[in-house]
Amino acid sequence: MPASPTLRHDYHFASDNTSGICPEAWSALTQANQGRVPSYGTDDWTRRACDLIREVFEKPDAEIFFVFNGTSANSLALASLCQSYHSVICHDFAHVEVDECGAPEFFSNGTKLLTATGANGKLAPETVERLILKRTDIHFPKARVLSITQSTEWATVYSREEISALSAVAKRHGLAVHMDGARFANAAAALAARPRAGGKGEGHSPADFTWRAGVDVLCFGGTKNGMNTTEAVVFFNPELAKEFDYRCKQAGQLASKMRFLSSQWVGMLENGAWLRHGAHANAMTQRLASALRALPGIKLLAEPEVNAVFVELAPEVARRLQEKGWHFYNFIGAHGYRLMCSWDTRAEDIESFIVDLRAALSA
């Protein structure tokens, strides 16, 4: 992966947002930095970016808004689907529940999040239905949205069939479906690599596992894919986007120099770079997982389908690696760590990590 020689690549498996801006987004920013153009999203870069997103999703009437980060994308999207007396069903590991400081509740003026658990970061239709039906009386907030994360916080991917089954339950009970796609590119790349169902060429396009599977709103992640401070809120049902521009403005999420958010999407979408970077991060993760499996005494806590490996490390082993300068987070229990790859992870980074891990294990 060619990148600026000034970028320091090694020592980072902490998150995909510790990586820099990828060459395609950077080059688009440079091109967009020419002269004066209209502000607040009325420029040609923004028009092109929206059209490219409509093309990727085969949805000419989709409504698209660019915001600065994932927390605002999720919170504002959820707020637009809910009244203050509603509730949102999500996984108990969901970013909206554990990593957004109550922003979904805040921006929706009190909508409650209801959490359910499920293996590998995924919700199952029966669990969702049980939660919807648990309380339907006037004294409990009415379930209004199902929120799922694709790819999940556990580096797994919902198949199109799984999403359709979840949406079917949601729709049966009058709930809308929101997808947190902070790592949508990783999921799209992983699904594109899967064999097609029934040989009919159906199944794994971005349209297939979003709106065709019942998703109403997608928060399409740009930042973790290699862009800077930009996420796209994609309303597949344009009715739901009504007055969303006002919501963004009020929340401080309407960029005046919008071209510097939207141009990056043009650079990433027009030549497929978004999928290549997603696939690269996934491939580096598989490489890391294989190297870890080959080490005696190392236990993987989940089978990675996208760009993170969850591994159990003894405290002294983790400490030795951290003393060597490696960055990674404790994620599950006392000894479960997450090692995350990104668009800029190199095979050499994985090799040096494994060398240091081997030394830490035998110290």
Ligand X SMILES: *Cc1c(COP(=O)(O)O)cnc(C)c1O
Residue number, nearest CB to ligand X: 70
Does residue 70 bind ligand X (CB under 6 A)?
yes
C-alpha span between 16 and 338 (Å, rounded): 11
* The Cα angle at residue 264 between residues 258 and 265, in degrees rounded to 5: 95
User: x/- contact string, 227-266, with ligand X (CB under 6 A)?
Assistant: ----------------------------------------
Cβ at position 269, least distance to ligand X in Å: 19
Among 71, 156, 253, 282, binds ligand X (CB under 6 A): 71
Least Å from the CB of residue 99 to ligand X: 7
Single-letter amino acid code for the residue at 78: L
> Which one among 59, 86, 91, 95 touches ligand X, defined by CB under 6 A?
95
**Region binding ligand X by CB under 6 A among candidate stretches 66-74, 268-276, 304-312, 347-355:** 66-74
Burial class of residue 167, CB neighbours in 10 A (0-12, 13-18, 19+): buried
CB of 229 to ligand X, least distance (A): 8
Question: Which of the stretches 70-78, 134-142, 187-195, 206-214 binds ligand X when contact is defined by CB under 6 A?
Answer: 70-78
CB 191 within 8 A of CB 183: no
Tokens describing residue 179? 């997808």
For residue 237, what are its two tokens? 């049902």
State yes or no: cis peptide before 151, omega within 30 of 0. yes
Taking the least distance from each CB to ligand X, the nearer of 74 and 205 is 74
Helices (H), 33-180: 44-56, 70-81, 95-98, 103-107, 125-134, 160-172
Rounded least distance, CB 162 to ligand X, Å: 17
For residues 130 to 149, the per-residue mask of contacts with ligand X, x marking binding by CB under 6 A and - elsewhere, is -------------------x
Residue 229 CA to residue 284 CA, distance in Å, equals: 24
The region, left, alpha or beta by phi > 0 then psi within -120 to 50, assigned to residue 297 is left
Rounded least distance, CB 69 to ligand X, Å? 4
Closest CA to 308 of 332, 266, 337: 337
Out of 210, 223, 285, 345, which residue is the one contacting ligand X (CB under 6 A)? 223
Q: In the complex with ligand X, which residue's Cβ is closer, 160 or 224?
A: 224
For 74, the token pair is 């999720």
Interacting residue with ligand X among 56, 182, 275, 308 (CB under 6 A) = 182
Neighbouring residues of 124: CB distance < 8 A, sequence distance ≥ 6: 118
Residue of the chain from 153, 216, 305, 344 that contacts ligand X (CB under 6 A):
153
| Amino acid sitting at position 159 | S
The answer to whether residue 123 forms part of the interface with ligand X (CB under 6 A) is no
Q: How far is the CB of 94 from ligand X (least distance, A)?
A: 7
Q: Return the number of the residue (70 or 214) whose C-beta is nearest ligand X.
A: 70
Q: What is the distance between the alpha carbons of residues 15 and 218, in angstroms, rounded to a whole number?
A: 22
Inter-residue contact 49 to 206 (CB < 8 Å): no
Alpha-carbon span 363 to 359, nearest angstrom: 6
Beta carbon of residue 324, minimum distance to ligand X (angstroms, whole number)? 26
One residue of 69, 108, 167, 264 binding ligand X per CB under 6 A: 69
Structure tokens at 53: 């997103």
C-beta closer to ligand X: residue 268 or 317: 268
Q: Where along the sequence are the contacts to ligand X (CB under 6 A)?
A: 69-71, 74, 95, 149, 153, 180, 182, 223-224
